[in-house]
């Protein structure tokens, strides 16, 4: 089992550019979570899906952020336009039903 796969692992972009982060959950897991880790705020839940349906996106900071899960094996988190304050590590996690979550390796985003 490859675990949760995230890509890219590192992303450096310029302010104003569109950024797309990708996640492949563990096969068979029906819940998927996107988190952001910053020094100031720790680990924040941005959005989560259950059976590909967004359940709660109240953690999404602004309209510049959007997430999709077109099928059970793929999700994207998009930031458009990106800003320097979006720089953080973004984690994707999946879980079977509502059990323990398995985290991906994270994407380190730097917006210059």
Partner 1 sequence: ILNVEQSPQSLHVQEGDSTNFTCSFPSSNFYALHWYRWETAKSPEALFVMTLNGDEKKKGRISATLNTKEGYSYLYIKGSQPEDSATYLCAFRYTGGFKTIFGAGTRLFVKA
Q: Could you tell me which stretch among 20-28, 37-45, 69-77, 79-87 binds partner 1 (CB under 8 A)?
A: 37-45
Distance set, CA 43 to CA 3, 14, 15, 17 (Å):
20, 24, 23, 24
Distances (CA, A) of 22 to 40, 63, 78, 86: 24, 19, 9, 16
For residues 30 and 81, which CB has a smaller minimum distance to partner 1 in the complex?
30
Q: What is the nearest approach in angstroms of partner 1 to the Cβ of residue 17?
A: 26
What does the binding site for partner 1 look like in residue numbers (CB under 8 A)? Answer: 33, 42-43, 45, 48, 50, 55-56, 91, 93, 98-106
């Amino acid at each position: 089992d490859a675990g949760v796969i995230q890509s890219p692992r590192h992303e450096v972009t310029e302010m104003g550019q569109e950024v797309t982060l990708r996640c492949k959950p563990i096969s068979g897991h029906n819940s998927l979570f996107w988190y952001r880790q910053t020094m100031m705020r720790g680990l924040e839940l941005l959005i989560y899906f259950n059976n590909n349906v967004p359940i709660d996106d109240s953690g999404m900071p602004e309209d510049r952020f959007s997430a999709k899960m077109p099928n059970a094996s793929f999700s994207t988190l998009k930031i458009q336009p990106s800003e320097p304050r979006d720089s953080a590590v973004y984690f994707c996690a999946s879980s079977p039903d509502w059990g323990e979550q398995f985290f991906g390796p994270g994407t380190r985003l730097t917006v210059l």
